Amino acid sequence: MALDRDNWICVGVIAGAHGVRGQVKIKSYTENPVDVASYGPVSDDLGNSFDIKITGQAKGTVLTQLKGVTDRDRAQEMRGTKLYVNRDLLPKLNDDGEYYYSDLVGLQVENPQGEVLGTVKGVFNFGAGDILEFTSAGGRPEMVSFTESTVPVVDLEGRRIVVALPEVVLGRED
């Protein structure tokens, strides 16, 4: 049975196997990386549930043992698996501008003049800060730095984000 994601938040993704005894590396999306295991069992897209035991940290990932995963082949097969927890288990947000990045997916992206630029696909961090990815109205993927100057407005109630694109984007063909 597939996971109904309406009330679920992605807290990490399996980055690959670690060692030969079924350990996996998890790229954690939680503020403190080891908190990926703090909310109880996680579920994958199919609704399978896994208990997580933290065994260490290495190169931006959390080293873990998932209950039921006992060999390297199974651990490597799980690479790319997204891990979810029920939203009700996560800390409550303040009303002053806090949100989970997963809440932004699907929001309309507009420029400061209100023209539609596209739709939010996700928020990522590849090591140098948060990046907002959106699909342009023309279907082209776009990425911008997710900073207050580039993304001055996040309006969850209005289901929109305002993105102030730089005047010139080098290497871009229009």
According to the 3-state scheme, what is the secondary structure of 73-115? Answer: HHHHHCCCCEEEEEHHHCCCCCCCCCCCHHHHCCCEEECCCCC
Where does the pLDDT of residue 43 fall: very low under 50, low under 70, confident under 90, or very high at 90 and above?
very high
- Token reading at 53: 């035991």
Residue 172 has pLDDT above 60, yes or no: no
Q: Give CA 99 to chain center in angstroms.
A: 13
Q: To which residue do tokens 């209005």 refer?
A: 158
Is 82 within 8 Å of 27 (Cβ atoms)?
Answer: no
Q: pLDDT, tens digit, for every residue of 72-106?
A: 999 999 999 999 999 888 888 776 777 888 888 88
Domains and CATH numbers, the chain: 5-89 (2.40.30.60), 101-162 (2.30.30)
